[in-house]
């Protein structure tokens, strides 16, 4: 699919991995600059200033549904599904690739299970 610019000029698509500035967080939340996968629908990504992301981490053992393996994002990368959050697009610093379809489905299933959808 061709890239489309949203109203704020930033093209962000579901399944993309972006480096996100998480520096302003509360206790118990993942901190610092880290990659995260965009899980918001593309129509919302175009229309809104915020996107919903699931932070990625390196090292923890996958423990679905909370921590889901995402090998297409890098060796030992996992999605931490219980840390999903909305962030302003200004916090997205650079694109870092796209999850495979299988990895995106695993993240979606993790979100469904932890949110009981």
What pLDDT, on the 0 to 100 scale, is given for residue 29? 47
Please answer whether residues 52 and 86 qualify as being in contact, where contact means their C-beta atoms are separated by less than 8 angstroms.
Answer: yes
- In the predicted model, is pLDDT for residue 25 greater than 70? no
Mean pLDDT across the chain: 88
Length of the chain: 117
pTM: 0.87
CATH of 16-115, one of 3.50.50.60, 2.30.30.110, 3.40.50.2020, 3.40.50.510: 2.30.30.110
DSSP annotation string for the chain = ------TTS----TTEEEEEE--S--TTS--SEEEEEE-S-HHHHHH-SEEEEEEEEESSPPBTTTEEE-GGGSTTEEEEGGG-EEEEGGGEEEEEEE--HHHHHHHHHHHHHHHT-
Q: Which residue matches tokens 């939340």?
A: 29
Please tell me the distance from the alpha carbon of residue 109 to that of residue 55, in angstroms, as a whole number: 15
Q: What is the mean pLDDT of residues 42-67?
A: 93
Q: What is the mean pLDDT of residues 89-111?
A: 96
């Amino acid at each position: 699919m061709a890239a489309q610019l949203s109203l704020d000029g930033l093209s962000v698509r579901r399944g993309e991995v972006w480096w996100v500035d998480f520096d302003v967080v509360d206790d118990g939340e993942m901190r610092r600059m880290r990659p995260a996968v965009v899980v918001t629908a593309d129509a919302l990504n175009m229309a809104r200033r915020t996107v919903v992301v699931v932070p990625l981490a390196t090292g923890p053992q996958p423990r679905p549904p909370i921590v889901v393996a995402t090998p297409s994002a890098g060796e030992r990368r996992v999605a931490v599904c219980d840390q999903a959050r909305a962030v302003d697009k200004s916090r997205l610093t650079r694109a870092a690739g796209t999850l495979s379809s299988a990895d995106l489905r695993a993240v979606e299933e993790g979100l469904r299970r932890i949110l009981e959808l």
